[in-house]
Amino acid sequence: MNKSYWNTIKSLARELRKNQTESEQILWKRLRNRKFYGVKFFRQHPLVYHQHGRDYFFIADFYSAEKKLVIEVDGRIHDQQKNYDEQRDLIISEKGLKVLRLQNKEIANIDLTLQKIKHSFNSPPPLSKIREGCPPKEGGVS
């Protein structure tokens, strides 16, 4: 991957960190600085993958390398992009990562949300499935 492309990805992730949703802000307050069981989380973290001779990327809402966990906080737009999200989750799981999808409204019950996250620490990543179709939109931006 060339440096210019990587700098573009980092810049986009930086912008997303500045413009988090209210639900993402609430969850980040509980996850940041290893506050949650000592686990390191990153917010708006780029995940890059190579397919068909090209680099693509997603930006995960929250990511823990230690737990191999991606957390996505889904708003209303995700109702219209279920297929895209499923393809994205499949690609992420093929990297050996677990994906936990939470609805914005779930974050209001932060204790239950944190229980779901803790439970996901011990669950194995899903088995890889055969992916159909083409990769997501250029760049795979969420």
The count of other CB atoms within 10 Å of the CB of residue 94 is 17
Q: What is the CA radius of gyration of the chain?
A: 15
Distance CA(37)–CA(138), nearest Å, equals 36
pLDDT at 137: 47
pLDDT over 70 (residue 138): no
- What's the rounded mean pLDDT across residues 112-124? 94
Q: What pLDDT score does 9 carry? A: 93
When pLDDT is cut at 50, 70 and 90, the band that residue 10 belongs to is: very high
| CA dihedral over 24, 26, 32, 36, signed as positive or negative | negative
Mean pLDDT score, 98-109: 95
Helix ranges restricted to H, the chain: 3-18, 22-31, 82-94, 110-122
Q: Are 125 and 98 spatial neighbours (Cβ–Cβ below 8 Å)?
A: yes
Q: Is the pTM of this model over 0.85?
A: no
- Over residues 48-70, mean pLDDT: 93
Above 90 in pLDDT, residue 85? no
